[in-house]
């Protein structure tokens, strides 16, 4: 019999309430984050403490990457009359952040897509039952890819959302809207009259059985939004992975950004996954707990004054596309010169 099991099998055991999950890593690793409901016994204490493990359920041990410590722990347990397996891929490969997330995320269609030139992420979320979908921050250059995926997955796109008026790339919103029946949506504060929906704090957008909630998080720009859905927050250029967006144009404010992050984003549960609009070093996502602890600009050990000073001293070059991108994005991504003049909102 194979002594290891996959994420998928562990999920089935969790659903059937037929498993004791045992984290055999060190105390620090466990405290930084662990699989929900896991019991903690470090591998070097298994022999002395295995009587603490409840009887009657299957035991699944896990460590950081799978095998190694978890395999040793399972071996010790099996030699002592228990029935234990170790988790392949370990904590690093475990994709769920909470029990509800595990049961829901298993079925939520979720794609993180990347655009190379501006290092932008686009996110596609959909209900697998109704096929209704939302796209966040599409980029003009990758519209064909996104539309192909939507078609392949047989999705009905309801909304095209912008986290903010981007300065480094042109949104794919207008092009996607032209070719689907989706509604475009930006913050009401952007004053973008061409958008179908003007988003405000706490507004909820439904897609099938799911709901995405709008959070106003000004600071990078005055109209910046974050979106919360099923244990994930899409932070745009507000909170980034071990960084933040800049605050030196488009009515940005370092004070506002610090408050948006500390009072709103960091108020979410520690295990909420953070998906930004960009990453320049190849990271895909983070968590609230990790950013509170390790974000060098805006983590828990940085005061508001320190953050404001730090942002003042950044002296970043202007994005190369700013004079093209901002007017186009104020016109929902329409790029010909006539349409790129954003109409005044009345």
User: Which residues here bind Fe ion, judged by CB under 5 A?
Assistant: 237
Cβ-based nearer residue to Fe ion, 257 or 340: 257
In the bound complex, what is the minimum distance in angstroms from residue 236's beta carbon to Fe ion?
A: 7
In the bound complex, what is the minimum distance in angstroms from residue 190's beta carbon to Fe ion?
A: 12
In the bound complex, what is the minimum distance in angstroms from residue 220's beta carbon to Fe ion?
A: 6
In the bound complex, what is the minimum distance in angstroms from residue 118's beta carbon to Fe ion?
A: 9
Cβ-based nearer residue to Fe ion, 230 or 237: 237
In the bound complex, what is the minimum distance in angstroms from residue 166's beta carbon to Fe ion?
A: 5
In the bound complex, what is the minimum distance in angstroms from residue 1's beta carbon to Fe ion?
A: 52
CA distance 207 to 323: 34
Cβ-based nearer residue to Fe ion, 50 or 246: 246
Cβ-based nearer residue to Fe ion, 25 or 164: 164
Cβ-based nearer residue to Fe ion, 1 or 316: 316
In the bound complex, what is the minimum distance in angstroms from residue 305's beta carbon to Fe ion?
A: 24
Nearest C-alpha neighbor of 49 from the set 27, 22, 28:
22
Cβ-based nearer residue to Fe ion, 115 or 237: 237
Cβ-based nearer residue to Fe ion, 38 or 240: 240
């Amino acid at each position: 019999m194979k002594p290891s099991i996959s994420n998928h099998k562990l999920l089935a055991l969790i659903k059937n309430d037929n498993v004791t999950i045992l984290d055999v890593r060190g105390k620090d690793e466990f405290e930084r984050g662990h699989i929900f409901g896991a019991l903690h016994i470090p591998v070097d204490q298994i022999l002395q403490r295995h009587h603490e493990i409840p009887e009657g359920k299957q035991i699944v041990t896990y460590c950081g990457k799978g095998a190694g410590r978890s395999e040793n722990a399972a071996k010790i347990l099996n030699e002592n009359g228990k029935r234990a397996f170790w988790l392949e891929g370990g904590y690093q490969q475990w994709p769920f952040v909470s029990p509800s997330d595990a049961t829901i995320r298993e079925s939520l269609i979720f794609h993180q897509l990347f655009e190379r030139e501006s290092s932008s992420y686009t996110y596609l979320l959909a209900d697998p039952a109704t096929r209704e979908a939302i796209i966040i921050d599409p980029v003009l250059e990758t519209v064909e890819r996104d539309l192909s995926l939507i078609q392949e997955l047989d999705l009905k796109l309801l909304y095209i959302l912008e986290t903010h008026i981007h300065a480094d790339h042109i949104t794919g919103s207008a092009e996607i809207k032209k070719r689907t029946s989706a509604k475009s949506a930006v913050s009401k504060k952007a004053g973008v009259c061409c958008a179908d929906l003007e988003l405000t704090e706490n507004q909820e957008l439904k897609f099938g059985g799911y709901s995405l909630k709008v959070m106003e998080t000004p600071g990078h720009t005055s109209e910046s939004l974050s979106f919360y859905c099923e244990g994930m927050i899409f932070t745009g250029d507000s909170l980034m992975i071990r960084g933040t967006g800049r605050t030196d144009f488009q009515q940005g404010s370092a004070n506002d950004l610090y408050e948006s992050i500390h009072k709103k984003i960091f108020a979410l549960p520690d295990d909420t996954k953070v998906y930004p609009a960009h990453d320049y070093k190849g990271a895909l996502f983070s968590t609230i707990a990790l950013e509170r602890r390790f974000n060098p600009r805006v983590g828990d050990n940085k005061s508001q004054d320190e953050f404001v000073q730090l942002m003042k001293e950044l002296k970043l070059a202007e994005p190369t596309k700013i004079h093209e991108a901002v007017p186009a994005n104020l016109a929902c991504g329409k790029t010909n010169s006539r349409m790129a003049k954003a109409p005044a909102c009345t």
